[in-house]
Structure 1
Amino acid sequence: MSKKDGKQFELLVKAIYEEILQQDNIESVRVEHDVSLKGRSGQEHQIDVYWSLKLAGETMQVAIECKDYKTDVSVGRIRDFSAALDDVGNIKGIFVTTKGYQSGAVKFAEFKGIALKTVQKPTSSELNPEGSINRIVLNGNLLGIENVQVNPRFDFEWVITNTTIKEGDPLNFDGRNDEIKVLDSQFNLIGTILDFENKLPRKPENSKGLNHKFEFEDGYFYAPYSNHKPLKLRWIEFTYDTHTVTIRSDFSLKLSAQAVLKDVITGDIFLFNKSVKSAGI
């Protein structure tokens, strides 16, 4: 089995798992490289990448074996790693290589609960999960309004007949445009001032002093902070300006990554996009 100098590969795997732990909001864990762990037999075991953390009062250890091989990893390599894990005890094992695993290695690893991963250059399908679409250019116009003035016109004959308001009395009200409402005679909501503003025509664009009127057969003006009960309306007239904002956006659907970590058993992938000095794969 051909093997290249593995130190830089080990550092790449270390950097990948540092990123994964950070994304999982486990930021206080220190991922270490080239650690020696003493087994129960008294034997020292060299671990390529290692970290430990306390979870719910229990200490969890993880050991990663890194092999930068040009051919598939054999079952013997997994057995050797498994023996070291058993000697250390209470530790999770992950085996990472660049090529793949022989079928016997996969079967034995599943039996022993050892995770099998590969680190490779990402394929075009992994970088472009949307298929053949690499780029979308979005052009559009946002049609807005500003300087809005609201002018309610009441049915004054109804007001004089059904309220104590007299000619010349002030009609005071206060409230946000989403609090001031138009109700029908059964107190069902017809719309808020904000609702009517959202229905105002946006064309002609970039124009000033536009007018639009909403008329009501059965509409009553209600404000939460006023000196009167709901008053019957004839219409509400809006005076406003329009403005248009042009947007141009260029979206790339193609992801960027230096390497992809793939779980051989589950198929889950993690795209790694940081540079690790001299960590070619």
Structure 2
Amino acid sequence: MAKNNGKQFELLVKVIYEEIIAQDSVESVEVKHDVSLLGKSGQEHQIDVYWSFKIGGEIMQVAIECKDYKSAVSVGRIRDFWGALDDIGNIKGIFVTTKGYQSGAITFAEHHKIALKTVQEPTEAELNPEGVIQEILVNGSLFGIYNSKVMPKFDLAWIVENTALKEGDPFSLRGRNDQIKIMDSNFEVLGTILDYENRLPRSPENSNDLKYRFEFSDGYLFAPESFEKPLKIEHIDFTYDTFTHQMHSAMNLKLTADAVLKDITTGEAFLYNKSAANSSI
């Protein structure tokens, strides 16, 4: 996390909370920077980061004080922030800094229900906790086919009896293997030529001119680009080659983040990735 001046730190906190709110699926909430709110005393209070939303008929407000200090925040700073919150009224306060808080500041904040957060560079332990799988290795073999040729055996007696084709008439079989279908007499599709190719045995491995036959007692081949109606078939013969491909891959599951927002009391942490930040930061 690069060093920020005061405004940059405020904008960083703003986009972190924009991402948190987006992940919580809270709709129609605009996180604003550098907002002035009028207190009951008539005093204007400058709020670094602010948002509000309506729930159950009530307006809920959140104010964040951002301080990029070189040392731990003192109780006086928290007391000043609480004074502004008390004057505004009906508002939740969050204090965010970089170096932590003095013990008196923590005690005072807990009493007045002010959330204390820090934004720092994430540690390796926060990014990748002990016991969490950080890498998956995949080793295996892919068994495939290529150079596939298909030869259907038509029921010539049925074709002569049920179509205008006569024995010896030429016709061609055209179409993609995922378009040519095999169906039964009820026109239920049994599969495409591609489906049957995928069912071909992959063994023996790395072999040529393998042969396999699919028999059909009630099968009809339909090629929309070749003929108007399905033609009865007896079987389909495939000739094909097989190959084996060895696979070795690694999947890195380690997390990356530019900053971590951590709650001082609960220890709850939110990892922030800069890719979601405003380009002006």
Q: Give the AA of the match of 1:135.
A: E
The answer as to 2:220 corresponding to 1:230 is no
Question: d(CA) in 2 for partners of 1:9 and 1:231?
Answer: 79
Q: Deviations over 1:32-79 (max 9, x none)?
A: 5xx4736344545454x3367999xxxx986421355977986x7656
Whether the 8 Å CA contact 1:99–1:118 is kept in 2: the answer is yes
- Displacement of 1:165: 1.9
Question: d(CA) in 2 for partners of 1:231 and 1:136?
Answer: 50
Q: 1:105 aligns with which of 88, 106, 109?
A: 109
Whether the 8 Å CA contact 2:185–2:220 is kept in 1: the answer is yes
The answer as to 2:195 corresponding to 1:195 is yes
Question: d(CA) in 1 for partners of 2:163 and 2:106?
Answer: 90
- Displacement of 1:166: 0.6
Structure 2 residue aligned with 1:37: 36
Whether the 8 Å CA contact 1:183–1:219 is kept in 2: the answer is yes
Could you tell me the TM-score, scaled by structure 1's length? 0.66
Question: d(CA) in 2 for partners of 1:63 and 1:264?
Answer: 17
168 and 106 in structure 1: CA distance in 2 versus 1, 3 angstrom threshold: farther
Question: d(CA) in 1 for partners of 2:265 and 2:188?
Answer: 59
Q: 2:15 aligns with which of 18, 21, 29?
A: 18
229 and 119 in structure 1: CA distance in 2 versus 1, 3 angstrom threshold: same
The answer as to 2:178 corresponding to 1:181 is no
- Displacement of 1:244: 4.4
Question: d(CA) in 2 for partners of 1:174 and 1:73?
Answer: 82
Structure 2 residue aligned with 1:166: 166
Question: d(CA) in 2 for partners of 1:69 and 1:246?
Answer: 55
Structure 2 residue aligned with 1:145: 145
Structure 2, unpaired ranges of 5+: 55-59, 276-281
Q: Deviations over 1:194-222 (max 9, x none)?
A: 21121123344455544332222221112
Could you tell me the TM-score, scaled by structure 2's length? 0.66
Q: Give the AA of the match of 2:180.
A: I
Question: d(CA) in 1 for partners of 2:90 and 2:208?
Answer: 74
61 and 103 in structure 1: CA distance in 2 versus 1, 3 angstrom threshold: closer
Residues 208-247 of structure 1 aligned to structure 2 (within 5 Å): 208-247=208-247
**Secondary structure at the counterpart of residue 160 of structure 1:** helix
Whether the 8 Å CA contact 1:140–1:246 is kept in 2: the answer is yes
79 and 237 in structure 1: CA distance in 2 versus 1, 3 angstrom threshold: farther
214 and 121 in structure 1: CA distance in 2 versus 1, 3 angstrom threshold: same
Question: d(CA) in 2 for partners of 1:222 and 1:85?
Answer: 77
36 and 199 in structure 1: CA distance in 2 versus 1, 3 angstrom threshold: closer
Q: Deviations over 1:85-115 (max 9, x none)?
A: 4656797643224547846634633xxxx65
**Secondary structure at the counterpart of residue 217 of structure 2:** coil
151 and 20 in structure 1: CA distance in 2 versus 1, 3 angstrom threshold: farther
- Displacement of 1:20: 5.4
Structure 2 residue aligned with 1:251: 251
Q: What percent of counterpart residues are identical?
A: 51
Question: d(CA) in 1 for partners of 2:265 and 2:235?
Answer: 68
Structure 1 residue aligned with 2:57: none
Structure 1, unpaired ranges of 5+: 1-5, 276-281
Structure 2 residue aligned with 1:81: 81
**Secondary structure at the counterpart of residue 177 of structure 2:** coil
Q: Deviations over 1:116-174 (max 9, x none)?
A: 53335545554236824322222233333334333211121222233332112344565
Structure 2 residue aligned with 1:134: 134
**Secondary structure at the counterpart of residue 186 of structure 1:** coil
Count of aligned pairs? 256
Structure 1 residue aligned with 2:272: 272
